[in-house]
Chain A
């Protein structure tokens, strides 16, 4: 099958992929985001654009994707099921495909309680699993969820999902991944990996089930910018594990930011050694400028160029 995107090409051909992440602003002025995108363009294969992350109103993922396309860069549009019913989700997907988006990351989304509109309705018409399957059915069968046919077939799409080895029940997590694959997932990005031991234990089971051969597993890596940021993730973000040793290590370092970068680089290097890990997704939100350095120091630069 022909690859739908550069990201898929990279992963399908067995290159260790690198993607970046862009968080749209709480305004329509996306000039800073464009700078970040421009500055890491030689270091990442595609960019995730978050969809009202942590339920905070921001410029839409699809709106930003249009700009990225104009810049000649490759977006991966995140789509949560939190804010849109199946009518809006399917319609927005078509809209994004119409101007060239091919990578989609289907996810549930944080509860609206955490955001800046805590009084809003949580839609959750579909769940993430059903949304993945719906995208696959639109692409492969040419049908909407309701059963009606699309007027024209869709081009190839690259369907992504998320996996969280740090959430519970831990024993179930590999099976949840298997279910996402059955629903149509072609690549998964994981929650930020700080607890490598737990990640490796998850991967053991993933390999045992043969899942790494059925899906591209991309490890999530976030450089820790400060002790405060680490503590915040440790205490306030559900489904995230930040081991105390990591915080102690940064505390003990003279240059704390450098230490954060060093840990990210080491994490990537360890991930590269793990059988079944196909790439990394670097999420340096509010610290985008360090992405090129991390990618270079991890030995992933220059990026292979695939025709």
Chain B
């Protein structure tokens, strides 16, 4: 899922300063599951903002809403009419949602209420970890299901650097060394020879480094549809 964290209230308040009628719009998918931008968080944010405005003596109105997926035009379209009355929409979706909303509703001001963090999953209640950078050429088959591009702080493809100690990455005792994990799994599975061959330089052109990516599937494409 996409993991995000709500922006601090002060930053949100500063962003919304020019507007009086505001909708805090949650998103019902990833950010609901990671407890940062769903219906509940939209309500909390609205309450906190109203209180702040009250204290500051600012006149205004804060309402809330939720779109099941702000990253899909059809869900946005279903909701669009309800947003017309607002000066601004504070979207609690990820950056993808904010942009899809902007593209679909060009007359509205849509502002980001979250800092989108990463693609990852909860490793335990309340802890999410980054796992995939979307490099466009997955190597998880070579690395025992542990992504070295994302989880090695130096995105190394040929084994652990000299900073790996006690299973931890040199950047922090809180971060596991991905290559230590890969090594342990290879040993356990008796497949250590997989680390022998020198993996050639990665072709980063399949990733964001190759410029903005678009995927087209001719078999399912419908011309003129949105």
Chain A interfacial positions (CB closer than 8 Å to B):
82, 86, 108-111, 113, 122, 124-130, 133-134, 145, 162-164, 166-169, 172, 175-176, 179, 182-183, 191, 238-239
Contacts and interface: CB of A to CB of B under 8 A. Distances in A.
A169 B165 CA distance: 7
Contacts of B170: 110-111, 238-239
B159 A167 contact: no
B196 A179 contact: yes
B155 A127 contact: yes
B180 A168 contact: yes
Interface residues of B, number: 30
A127 B204 contact: no
Given A168-B167, A175-B192, 17 more contacts: A86-B201, A108-B156, A111-B154, A124-B154, A124-B156, A127-B157, A127-B158, A128-B158, A129-B156, A129-B198, A129-B199, A130-B198, A167-B164, A172-B160, A175-B196, A239-B163, A239-B165
A169 B153 contact: no
A129 B202 CA distance: 12
B201 A113 contact: no
Nearest to B154: A124
A161 to B, nearest CB: 10
B120 to A, nearest CB: 19
Nearest to A146: B201
B198 A167 contact: no
A59 to B, nearest CB: 24
Given A113-B171, A179-B196, A239-B165, A167 B154 contact: no
B161 A128 contact: yes
A164 B200 CA distance: 22
Contacts of B155: 124, 127
Contacts of B196: 175, 179
Nearest to A172: B183
Interface in B130-178: 153-168, 170-171, 177
A111 B156 CA distance: 12
B74 interface: no
Contacts of A239: 161-165, 170
Contacts of A122: 153-154
Given A124-B156, A168-B167, A162 B162 contact: yes
A108 B154 contact: yes
B13 interface: no
A167 B177 CA distance: 11
Given A130-B157, A179-B196, A183-B198, A108 B183 contact: no
Contacts of A111: 153-154, 163, 170-171
A67 B161 CA distance: 31
Nearest to A82: B154
A130 B163 contact: no
B195 interface: yes
Given A111-B171, A125-B204, A238-B163, A169 B183 contact: yes
A133 B196 CA distance: 14
9 contacts: A109-B154, A126-B201, A130-B158, A134-B201, A167-B160, A172-B159, A172-B160, A179-B158, A238-B164
Contact of A145 (B156, B162, B199, B201): B201
A127 B154 contact: yes
Contacts of B171: 111, 113
A108 B158 CA distance: 11
A125 B195 contact: no
Query: Which residue, of B153, B168, B184, has the highest number of chain A Cβ atoms within 10 A?
Result: B153
A168 B166 contact: yes
B202 to A, nearest CB: 8
Nearest to B177: A168
Contacts of B165: 166-168, 238-239
Given A111-B170, A125-B201, A167 B163 contact: yes
Contacts of A172: 159-160, 183, 195
A169 B162 contact: no
A131 to B, nearest CB: 9
Contacts of A108: 154, 156, 161-162
Contacts of B162: 108, 162-164, 167, 191, 239
A128 B156 CA distance: 8
A133 B156 contact: no
Contacts of B204: 125
Contacts of B158: 127-130, 179
A166 B164 CA distance: 9
Contact of B198 (A82, A109, A182, A238): A182
A179 B201 contact: no
A128 B162 CA distance: 11
Contacts of A113: 171
A130 B201 contact: yes
A44 to B, nearest CB: 23
